Chains A and B, each alone.
Chain A
Amino acid sequence: MLRLEKRPNPSQFWLFATPVVAVILTMFFGGLLFASMGTNPFTVIKTIFWDPVFGEFAFYLRGQLLVKAGPLILIALGLSLGFRAGIWNIGAEGQYIIGAICGAAVGLAFYPTESRLIFIPMIAAGLLGGWAWAMIPAILKTRFNTNEILVSLMLVYVAETILAKAATGFLKNPEGMGFPGSRNFSSYPAAANPELIAGSGLHWGGVAAIVIGGLAYVLLARHIIGFQIKLSGQAPRAARFHGVSPNRLVVLCMGISGALAGLAGMFEVTGPAGQITIDFNVGYGFTAIIVAFLGRLNPVGIILAGLIMALTYVGGEMASTNLGLPSAAIQVFQGMLLFFLLGVDVLTNYRIRMAGGK
């Protein structure tokens, strides 16, 4: 019989090896899944992980990679702070939607201005919208001790109905001939979030992701708040003796993650998505949870993980158009990845021993 023995300290080797092992295991079992659906697993895995970067259409798809990675990284960076401290904001999808609506609303309110300055209040509105939406579970948690997981998740459904109302009602394009959806930002250059270098896929959201990744790294490694976040997660009792106020931390972590999710939403809707539609959101807020864990809640890791996750989106789309793989298969693939990550993580904190023998 095998038995687990707790390590005195987490293994440094496995800390870095687990994401790699998890990705390999996911490829293997994902391959089995694809094979069971009658596709050639090697072709599918190659289409997902190789072709977007090195394949025939890589010149276009590499750009798509950054388009998808930007919001994932932004959201995951925010979430990782809370996850480290044991604060579970799983409603990033809702904060993303509200940020997008607020940012777009400010831009559309000034239509058709030609001043580029309008983009700054739009960014602020996106940040504030996401922040405010995250403050609801945060305040309820600190004031009434309400479970932040359930409240933030419920607010995703509420945000989705508000989005439906925005797309068909208060933000609807008055010249849209009755179709749902707001004005398109691609024909409103002052307020748009364009590609900065043609063909790169890099827009302001990608820039923000990298800058904030750096800031998050400094915050965690050098700042007292970063220390308090880590301490609260690892030893809540010690954190209390150290004088960390749990409530302040909840408000801070939820606020940062909400604001970043809102920012991501605002960049998405003014850039790649182009307009507010009923379903412009594609679940980045949920996938970002996987990104945060794949990156081991570490800013540098999250940037890498965001790129890998973006690969599964871009490659998955390729696989569904070229090989007829249902898009839900990619969702399963991503869910599997999180399973393996969490499962393999046991090796970081435990050693496997044969029971009986010394």
Chain B
Amino acid sequence: MDFGSINPAVLIASLMVASVPIMLAALGELVAERAGVLNLGVEGMMIMGAVCGFIITIQTESAFAGFVGGALGGAVLSLFFAFLTQVLLANQVATGLALTMFGLGMSSLMGQGFNGLKPVQTPIVPLGPLADIPFFGRVLFAHDAMVYFSIAMAGLLWWVLKSTRIGLILRAVGESHEAAHALGYKVIRIRCAAIAFGGAMAGLGGAYVSLVRVPQWVDGITAGAGWIALAIVVFAAWKPWRVLIGAYLFGGITVLQLNLQVAGSWIPVEYLSMSPYLITILVLVIMSSGKGRAHNAPAALGQNFHASR
């Protein structure tokens, strides 16, 4: 095995890129879950974002338009979920699964004829001399805008949830919808907004996969990233800054195993490529086995609200 071919600066830089999709999707899901909605359709919304972003980028030759389109694609799909669970009071687990199945099929239908095309490259934010700093320049200052956007979103959501009125209302709805309703908050409307936000973020994450990470269109391109994002929300104990850590951890594992595959490690390729999923399980076990029920889940998570009066 040739470890010498793995350059730590490149490794960390690509780790940051690898973690963007799951971080965006996990942040969106975190907001939905803090409002008490368990949307298991992240994978479906991501892949819809991936295909919408890809198609729009090919048509307009603009990566920015692609990301906007990806966010819209994810948000539109999430509105189906919102309508079913919030208005028609359908079971959230089953509806989330339906969303994923529908999204996987729909994306493959929409993506026909787009296989093998190359989208325009997403530009790297020009930070001038900063990018020339040895090591840190490569690691921190030579990325596209979405890398910085994802980090900024983690910070923004941390602040919004912790210190603003909107965050307080959102958390109230997620902890006790009855109490929030009694205080006069529109539980259903707030939850629909949270679901749409989650969909847009998942769509952005998906668009990042098809526009930057891979970058091309193949069926099933997200390969379980949406499910890993769901796991990261649990890992993060529903805290945005811990989503950041979780996403970088998983990005790191993904990049490392890819590098090990390339470097020709003694571990067979199959076992390396299953490692992100195995480690997700391991992390879930560690997080949920904590003493008592200290894992901080919103109290009304997954419960539908029907105002009887």
Contacts and interface: CB of A to CB of B under 8 A. Distances in A.
Q: Do A and B come from one complex?
A: yes
A351 B289 CA distance: 42
B278 A158 contact: yes
Interface stretch (A47-55, A142-150, A183-191, A235-243): A142-150
Q: Which residue, of B40, B102, B234, has the highest number of chain A Cβ atoms within 10 A? A: B102
B306 A4 contact: yes
Contacts of A140: 281, 284-285
B98 A88 contact: no
A145 B227 CA distance: 18
A343 B83 CA distance: 9
Interface string B239-253: 000000000000000
Main SS class of interface, B: helix
Contacts of A214: none
B121 interface: no
A326 interface: yes
Interface residues of B, number: 45
Given A154-B224, A289-B101, 4 more contacts: A147-B288, A150-B234, A335-B102, A342-B91
Contacts of A290: 98, 101
Chain B CB within 10 A, most for which of A6, A149, A334: A149
Contact of B106 (A143, A146, A335, A349): A335
A184 to B, nearest CB: 23
Given A146-B284, A339-B84, A332 B97 contact: no
Nearest to B101: A335
Interface stretch (B14-22, B135-143, B267-275): B267-275
B71 interface: no
Interface of B: 40, 80, 83-84, 88-91, 93-95, 97-98, 101-106, 108-109, 112, 219, 223-224, 227, 230-231, 234, 268, 270-271, 273-274, 277-278, 280-281, 284-285, 288-289, 293, 306, 308
Nearest to A338: B98
A161 interface: yes
Contacts of B93: 88, 149
A150 B289 contact: no
A286 B220 CA distance: 14
A334 B105 contact: yes
A326 B98 CA distance: 20
Contact of B98 (A158, A329, A335): A335
A332 B105 contact: yes
Interface string A139-175: 0100111110111011101100110110000000000
Nearest to B280: A154
B102 A158 contact: no
Nearest to A166: B270
Contacts of A136: 281
Given A332-B109, A338-B101, A151 B284 contact: yes
Nearest to A327: B108
Nearest to A332: B105
Q: Which of B101, B223, B268 has the most CB of A within 10 A?
A: B101
Interface residues of A, number: 46
A164 to B, nearest CB: 6
Nearest to B88: A346
Nearest to B279: A154
Contacts, number: 131
A146 B288 contact: yes
A350 B308 CA distance: 12
B281 A155 contact: yes
Interface string A323-358: 000101111111110110011011001100000000
A291 to B, nearest CB: 12
B105 A339 contact: no
A146 B306 contact: no
A199 to B, nearest CB: 32
A90, A330, A343: most-surrounded residue (chain B CB, <10 A): A343
A261 B11 CA distance: 41
A153 B223 CA distance: 12
Contacts of B84: 339, 342-343
A181 to B, nearest CB: 16
Contacts of A6: 306, 308
Contacts of A154: 224, 227, 231, 277-278, 280-281
Given A150-B234, A154-B280, A331-B105, A145 B224 contact: no
B80 A339 contact: yes
Nearest to A345: B90
23 contacts: A144-B288, A144-B289, A149-B93, A150-B227, A150-B281, A154-B231, A158-B277, A162-B270, A162-B274, A290-B98, A293-B94, A326-B112, A328-B109, A331-B104, A331-B109, A332-B102, A336-B102, A338-B97, A338-B98, A338-B101, A342-B94, A346-B89, A350-B89
A293 B84 CA distance: 15
A339 B95 CA distance: 7
Nearest to B271: A161
Given A144-B288, A334-B101, A165 B88 contact: no
The 10 closest A-B pairs by CB, nearest first: A331-B105, A335-B102, A144-B289, A328-B108, A332-B105, A338-B98, A342-B90, A335-B101, A328-B109, A346-B88
B90 A343 contact: yes
